[in-house]
Structure 1
Amino acid sequence: MPKQMREMLQNGYSHDEPDRMPSNITVKNLDIIMYGVAIIGHFVDLGLDINVAVRYFLAKKMMEFGWTLVFILLPAFVNTAVSVRMYSQDKQQDSVSNEFNKRRWLRIFILVLQMAPILRFTDALIYAIKSRQAERRRDHASQRAYYGLMLKEDSDAALLRIFECFLEAAPQQVLQTSLLFRAYDQFAIHQTLSICSSVVGMGWCLAAYQRAIRFAQPDKSNMTWPGTVLQTLWHFLVTLSRVLSISIIAYLHPYWAVLACAVHVLIMSTWLQLLDRSPFCSHNKLAELAFSLALGGVYLFTYILPIEGRTRYRYTVYYTICFIQNLTCSFIWYFYVSDEMRSSLYFYPVLVLSTVPYVIGLVFMVLYYSFFHPKVSKRVSDVEISFKVNEQTAEIR
């Protein structure tokens, strides 16, 4: 996992070893397709969530409507704030992309609409196409320059993907799953569609995030596709188990679930502030606290390293705490669920899915670190990397 997601990717190295743009680069059809799917998928997932919210509103289910709306708007607000901070850093470093400058007011308008990921996906797609066109013209200088800009936009999108995944898709699954347990028959189809879109979106975000790490380090052979797949499965299964566990409590005791989640977020945010403080928003104490709170929300579902360091003890503490929480949720589900729910189709699948995927996910984590984790090697300095990127992009700025 990265040191600090955006800085790692933008600077071109993981916490294990550095990477630089290869001398022989090509934008593949899969790269174009993934950007297109990311843009379309974002709108589909958002549309299905809005559809559920509207259904609740028309049925005068204002509590359900309010929570669904919160889990739509809050992650969008966080992503917008993070994206604005990224643009501020780019401006300070005189590295705001030319695509942003060309349509500044349109992009500011889109940011106001809280669709920050679309900006990054779109810019990365534009640069990918331009790099490919330059390759066909045999203009290798422009090809490398646009490729470098594509990597920059893709690296910025990686952090936004994480927040989109764990502050929107995962909480939306918790909410709609807990409501589905309550047998809202008139909403079942819409809830199921929202849950499925969130599951797919969560899986896609994780896969795209791991791909972004690989994409920013294309000359590395040590981060293999099996390793990437194992990382994706590890986080997906752990998150799926966490979603079901939290959904159990949200169904049985919704107010206690909110309190428990709030306590968990506060503990994780305190941990971040005391031990793993990220430099991303260090310019402002309030912004730093807000970023830690947002990352603490991510830690409801999985653990992403915010800084460089050894992972063994962090993972041991975090995953032990979460496993105890999952077991507690399963215990409460088994002994305190109603007789009606106990005789339903949900009872045993939920009991199994709240713990078994978590254990399997940890097995994948152990396999990854045992056989596929990159070894530490010499690091390329940030100054050298920055010089190379500026040199490559200067011609088209």
Structure 2
Amino acid sequence: MPKAVRELLQNGHSYDEPDRMPKNISITNLDLIMYVVAIIGHFVDLAVDLNVAVRYYLAKEMEAFGWTLAFILFPAFVNTAVSIRMYSQDKQQDSLTNEVTRRHWLRIFILVLQMAPILRFTDALIYAVKSRRAERKNDPASQRLYYHLMLKEDSDAALLRIFECFLEACPQLVLQTAIMLMGHQQFTLHQSLSMTSSLVGMGWCLAAYQRAVRFAQEDKLNVTWCGSAMQTVWHYLLTLSRVMSVAVISHLFPYWTVLACSIHILVMTSWIQLYERPIFCAQTRIAEISFSFALGCVYLFTYILSVEGRTRYRYAMYYTMCFIENSACGVLWYLYIRDEIRYSTVFYIVLVLIVVPYVLGVTVMVVYYSFLHPTLRNKNEAVSVAFKVNDQTFEAS
């Protein structure tokens, strides 16, 4: 029995070795660097947004301060609730990763400092280092164990990053864009920093989530780096179009925008409850509806797969609805924008950002599913094996 497993069993943990692991489970320097970058990036995003909120408060822009602070606290609350639920599941299952639930003081940091993704990324980094050390010691059993734990932490952290990016980064980007269109230019530098940090994190977090989930699902092929890049571009472009559409309508009709977004979220929540029903919080009805509502808020900007199944029709329905909404926002921008903006370059830039990224994003998505989706590689491998079997049978005969 490997030393790592023996120590964990002695501490009262159970051990369920995974049925199948990827062929290459070596931890590279790039893997470690990416975890460090993710941790640092989280702190930078939070610091930039807090800086903008403070600037609004000092300038007596209380409405902008309130919305900015709300878009910091709400995703923090959601991430805290989801993270505690994850730790609760780990403890119920006597998971090897449940030792962090005994550190009660860390929960305070999770709640106050929005640290939920950081804890998961830190644990993933620790397991990655341990897996690498086991590889150097020529201990393949421990290497596999820590690699499996790293994948589990990585997939949990990626889900938390989804909520952080699309409940915090995207709303912040909408808010700062709407404020800039209204002519509030006192803190343009700080707004630009906030918008830039949001833009950088939006596309990658969703591609990282899908890649992490597929790594953790041992019965599926992993997404290639080229496929991850295509996913990043696809989600980045579509989300950029959605953000700009919501921002311009927020600038024109702020109160009606709140109503329209609420209706969209309720429709998405109902869709999740009726047709998807993720099992993550299925133990209680209130927890299930709350998690569906959080996902419905994410669906205001993008669509993530919460359950297995055929995705073609779900994507078609969702993106068709979003295209209609974006088109309506573009028409309202064209009809109701004030004259000083209508005769400026900003007017045309906004129209382009509403339409062009959406069309390009859908095109990239179609290309990805046509040529780069792992299922295609699975089919190609099956066809290749069939040809080899047929050739051997033909030679034998």
CA separation of 1:87 and 1:96: change in aligned 2, threshold 3 A: farther
CA separation of 1:167 and 1:139: change in aligned 2, threshold 3 A: same
d(CA) in 2 for partners of 1:150, 1:97? 10
Output the amino acid matched with 2:195. Answer: I
Quick check: 1:21–1:217 contact (8 Å CA) kept in 2? no
Q: CA RMSD in A?
A: 2.2
* 1:66-145 matches, cutoff 5 A: 66-97=66-97, 100=100, 104-113=103-112, 114-145=114-145
CA separation of 1:49 and 1:152: change in aligned 2, threshold 3 A: same
CA separation of 1:314 and 1:98: change in aligned 2, threshold 3 A: closer
- Secondary structure, counterpart of 1:355 in structure 2: helix
Aligned-pair CA distance for 1:98: 5.9
| Partner in structure 2 of residue 239 of structure 1 | 239
CA separation of 1:141 and 1:106: change in aligned 2, threshold 3 A: farther
Aligned-pair CA distance for 1:191: 0.7
* 1:208-287 matches, cutoff 5 A: 208-216=208-216, 223-287=223-287
Aligned-pair CA distance for 1:127: 0.9
Quick check: 2:174–2:246 contact (8 Å CA) kept in 1? yes
Aligned-pair CA distance for 1:205: 1.2
Bigger relative contact order, structure 1 or 2, given CA contacts below 8 A and separation 6+? Answer: 1
Moved more, 296-305 or 21-30: 21-30
- Secondary structure, counterpart of 2:278 in structure 1: coil
| Partner in structure 2 of residue 169 of structure 1 | 169
Aligned-pair CA distance for 1:203: 2.6
Output the amino acid matched with 1:170. Answer: C
Quick check: 2:127–2:147 contact (8 Å CA) kept in 1? yes
* 1:299-318 matches, cutoff 5 A: 299-318=299-318
| Partner in structure 1 of residue 295 of structure 2 | 295
Quick check: 2:131–2:144 contact (8 Å CA) kept in 1? yes
Aligned-pair CA distance for 1:325: 0.6
d(CA) in 2 for partners of 1:152, 1:12? 13
Quick check: 1:12–1:216 contact (8 Å CA) kept in 2? no
| Partner in structure 2 of residue 196 of structure 1 | 196
Quick check: 2:241–2:353 contact (8 Å CA) kept in 1? yes
Aligned-pair CA distance for 1:214: 4.9
Aligned-pair CA distance for 1:219: 9.3
Quick check: 1:238–1:357 contact (8 Å CA) kept in 2? yes
d(CA) in 1 for partners of 2:38, 2:193? 18
CA separation of 1:122 and 1:222: change in aligned 2, threshold 3 A: closer
Output the amino acid matched with 1:158. Answer: A
Aligned-pair CA distance for 1:221: 5.6
Output the amino acid matched with 1:227. Answer: G
Output the amino acid matched with 2:103. Answer: R
Quick check: 2:90–2:98 contact (8 Å CA) kept in 1? no
- Secondary structure, counterpart of 1:375 in structure 2: helix
d(CA) in 1 for partners of 2:208, 2:20? 20
Quick check: 1:170–1:202 contact (8 Å CA) kept in 2? yes
| Over 4 Å off, 4+ runs | 217-222
d(CA) in 1 for partners of 2:370, 2:316? 15
Aligned-pair CA distance for 1:287: 0.9
Quick check: 1:241–1:353 contact (8 Å CA) kept in 2? yes
d(CA) in 2 for partners of 1:42, 1:12? 32
d(CA) in 2 for partners of 1:163, 1:265? 14
* 1:346-357 matches, cutoff 5 A: 346-357=346-357
CA separation of 1:341 and 1:374: change in aligned 2, threshold 3 A: same
CA separation of 1:222 and 1:189: change in aligned 2, threshold 3 A: closer
Equivalenced residue count is 362
| Partner in structure 1 of residue 338 of structure 2 | 338
Output the amino acid matched with 1:291. Answer: F
Q: TM-score, normalised by structure 2?
A: 0.86
Quick check: 1:210–1:232 contact (8 Å CA) kept in 2? no
Quick check: 1:120–1:157 contact (8 Å CA) kept in 2? yes
Greater CA radius of gyration, 1 or 2? Answer: 2
Moved more, 325-334 or 201-210: 201-210
